[in-house]
Amino acid sequence: MDPAALSAKPPLTLLVAAPRGFCAGVDRAIRIVELAIERYGAPVYVRHEIVHNRYVVDSLKAKGAIFVEELDEVPDDVPVVFSAHGVPKAVPRKAEERGLSYIDATCPLVSKVHRQAERAHEAGRHIIFVGHAGHPEVIGTFGQLPDGAMTLVETVEDVATIEVADPTSLSFLTQTTLSVDDTADIVAALQARYPAIVAPKGEDICYATSNRQAAVKAIANECQLVLVIGAPNSSNSLRLAEVAQRMGARGELIQRAVDIDWSWFDGATTVGLTAGASAPELLVREVVTAIAERFTVDERQVETATEDMVFKLPRGLEPATAA
């Protein structure tokens, strides 16, 4: 047999989902840290990972950002940035007590949920919050209100165990990065048990989360394997892998190309690729390059939505414009 034929790379169709990767809230949060470093000089402290992506965090560290988990780790007289996931009200209050200069990089869509929680509480309603225990966004949202004002629900089964003082005076809200399908099931269970429960105005699950899940659904039926670029603590990335699995494909979460287990490709003729909302596009290209070293790739982009959302930067942090 011709040696060239033996060494020929096997063919592979690669379906790249769109939209994928950075959302407007992540873009804004990263830019806030970069501009803060430009304005104040290094180091700039950031409470919690600004977004859940190791590459992004390491890149910002190289520019002069220092990441800490608690405000106590921030020295006096240096600026601190709050992450895109949002923080309890006690955090900026503590910063003010210490005289710290702070910049809030909370995603505006998370801030919207915070405002909805405040309005529901002011109206005297107890809030059922659909989310994942321990996630920074959930901690931040619960921290907008007094203890006991909200009850966390993670699954449909949890709905049956809720105990509330007044079933006729309830609202529900959700984390912005949940599974669209799972959340719909939980909401349906809540509405069945509490017919008077008040829904939020508009969808709490953010546009980017919904769009990325829809894009995975559009490709997963054709794929034996779907790779999701994202961090293991990234809620929206984990949900993308779950969506692929539910559609019948093997869904695997990776952070970089080096994390690929090439045995996953055994028997695969069509592979899908996407990235969570905190993963930069250069990591997508890194993975494509790694795949192309082993396969003859027919790369196709499958676009299910166009995103043009842009969020304003905090007042006073806009970059200088040329005269």
3 state DSSP class of 236: helix
Catalytic residue among 118, 122, 137, 252: 137
Closest CA to 178 of 151, 138, 120: 138
Omega before 19 cis (within 30°)? yes
φ, ψ for residue 280, nearest 5 deg: -75, 155
Residue pointed to by tokens 């939505």:
305
Cα 199 from Cα 130, distance rounded (Å)? 12
Residue pointed to by tokens 């109206």:
123
Active-site residue flag, 137: yes
Cα 243 from Cα 181, distance rounded (Å)? 9
Q: Which two tokens stand for residue 223?
A: 């794929």
Q: DSSP for 104-120, please give it.
A: E---HHHHHHHHHHHHH
Q: CB 287: neighbour CB atoms within 10 A?
A: 22
Cα 69 from Cα 46, distance rounded (Å)? 8
Closest CA to 295 of 261, 265, 260: 265
Residue type present at position 149:
A
For residue 299, what is the enclosing H or E element?
A: strand 296-303
Catalytic residue numbers read 137
